[in-house]
Amino acid sequence: MKVAAIQMVSGTSADANLRQAHALLAEAARAGAELAALPEYFCLLGRRDTDKLALQEVFDHGTRGGPIQQFLADTARELGLWIVGGTLPLATPDPARVRNSALVFTPAGDCVARYDKMHLFRFDNGQERYDEARVLEPGREPVLFDLPSRDGHRWRVALSVCYDLRFPELYRAGAARGAELLLVPSAFTHTTGQAHWEVLLRARAIENLAYLAAPAQGGLHENGRRTWGHSMLVDPWGTVLAQRDEGAGVVLADFDVARLEMARRQLPALEHRVL
Residues with catalytic roles? 40, 117, 162
Q: Are 255 and 151 in contact (CB under 8 A)?
A: no
Angle between helices 67-79 and 14-30 (to 10 degrees): 20
140 by DSSP, 3-state: which?
A: coil
What is the DSSP track for 158-185?
Answer: EE--GGGGG-HHHHHHHHHTT--EEE--
Half-sphere exposure of 120 (CA within 13 A, CB side): 16
C-alpha pair distances (Å), 274 with each of 35, 179, 205, 206, 269: 34, 19, 19, 18, 10
In DSSP terms, which residues pair with 249 in a beta bridge? 7
Instruction: Answer for the pair 104, 112: CB distance below 8 angstroms, yes or no.
Output: yes
Report, in this order, helix, strand and coil percent for the chain, each rounded to 5: 30, 30, 35
CA terminus-to-terminus distance, the chain:
32
Distance between CA 40 and CA 163 in Å, rounded? 11
